[in-house]
Amino acid sequence: MVIVFKKKWSIFVVCAVALLATVGISLQSVAVPTSASPTANWGLSFQKNGQPPIGNADATYLKQYNAYYIGNTTSDGSESNKVLYLTFDAGFENGNTASILDTLKKHKVPACFFLVKNYLDTAPELVKRMVDEGHTVGNHTASHPDMSKIADKAAFQKELDDLEKAYQTVVGKPMEKLYRPPQGKFSEQNLKMAAEMGYTTYFWSLAYVDWYVDRQPSRKQAFDKLLPRTHPGAIVLLHSTSKTNAEILDELLTKWKGMGYRFGELQDISL
């Protein structure tokens, strides 16, 4: 997700660069390394509908740094294994989050909202509501930089600490240590530093192009992208800035439940 300063449009261009790595690569075959390159953009390759995609860093590699892109899953696809982990990235509030929270409450579905400091500063009441209604707030950094370019541990830690402090001020209690790299950009050094700080890093295994405020997908386009690629253990990335997501979420959760899925919390993932 992205942070907004003066011009929201420029923010979505940044976001597009990052998530097109997911959506674009997912249409192709990718070489899957056993370890990540020095820096990388998170990307996925969907080989078969209904089955977990392949990430450009595999689950075994990520786990050594307390990082995940997919939840608990087995090859048999059994009903007991059909769990989804719902996450929202949020850099600013544009009127959709209250509706999203209403729908989550209706369906009794937990979610993790990865926030930047701008969101905490400008929409503190919504942050309090997230926490009061049982959702988790994760760390998406204070200023949403390319963290893969930050080699200095003190500078890296400041981005996370500043967000933690803002959360403590708003909510009145410490923040859980869940981290999502801005733009999906990461390096092995970043993963290691986050782990040393006690953070678990979460990428995603299901997303679609939902971030352009002025070019929102239709209901049909959203379902056509999300439903065929839904898979056991999916960490789902949506954006709470999306008007389409607010409009379809009730039906989307109903459809997922009809497919036999239940909803878990990121903290429960342990491959």
Convert the pLDDT of each residue in 36-59 to its tens digit: 456 789 999 999 999 999 999 999
User: In Å, how far are 3, 79, 207 from 119, measured between CA atoms?
Assistant: 8, 37, 21
Domain containing residue 211: CATH number = 3.20.20.370
In a domain, 26, yes or no: yes
In a domain, 176, yes or no: yes
Where does the pLDDT of residue 13 fall: very low under 50, low under 70, confident under 90, or very high at 90 and above?
very low
What is the rounded average pLDDT of the residues 118-135?
A: 98
Choice among 58, 76, 89, 135 that is catalytic: 89
pLDDT at residue 106 is higher than 70: yes
Task: Give the range of the structural domain holding residue 103, as residue numbers without chain letter.
Answer: 8-34+45-268
Identify the CA nearest to 183 among candidates 141, 153, 151.
Answer: 141
pLDDT at position 81, please?
79
What is the rounded average pLDDT of the residues 60-86?
A: 82
Question: Is 89 part of the annotated catalytic residue set?
Answer: yes
pLDDT at position 139, please?
98
pLDDT at residue 108 is higher than 90: yes
Domain count within the chain? 1
**Spatial separation of the C-alpha atoms in residues 216 and 227, rounded to whole Å:** 18
pLDDT at residue 12 is higher than 90: no
pLDDT at residue 95 is higher than 80: yes
Of the ranges 21-25, 65-69, 146-150, 197-201, which one carries the lowest mean pLDDT score?
Answer: 21-25
In a domain, 131, yes or no: yes
In a domain, 177, yes or no: yes
pLDDT at position 18, please?
44
pLDDT at position 38, please?
63
Question: Is 161 part of the annotated catalytic residue set?
Answer: no
In a domain, 2, yes or no: no
Of the ranges 74-78, 178-182, 217-221, which one carries the lowest mean pLDDT score?
Answer: 74-78
Mean pLDDT over each residue of the chain, to the nearest integer: 87
From the centroid of its chain, how far is CA 240?
11
Choice among 135, 140, 144, 239 that is catalytic: 239
pLDDT at position 55, please?
94
In a domain, 1, yes or no: no
Mention every residue, 6+ apart, whose C-beta is less than 8 A from residue 55: 32, 42, 43, 44, 62, 69, 70, 203, 205
Residue 144 and residue 186 in contact, taking contact as beta carbons nearer than 8 Å: no
Where does the pLDDT of residue 28 fall: very low under 50, low under 70, confident under 90, or very high at 90 and above?
very low
Tell me the whole-structure pTM to 2 decimals: 0.87
pLDDT at residue 150 is higher than 90: yes
pLDDT at position 72, please?
74
What is the rounded average pLDDT of the residues 112-130?
A: 98
Q: Which two tokens stand for residue 253?
A: 């959760």
pLDDT at position 74, please?
54
What is the rounded average pLDDT of the residues 84-99?
A: 96
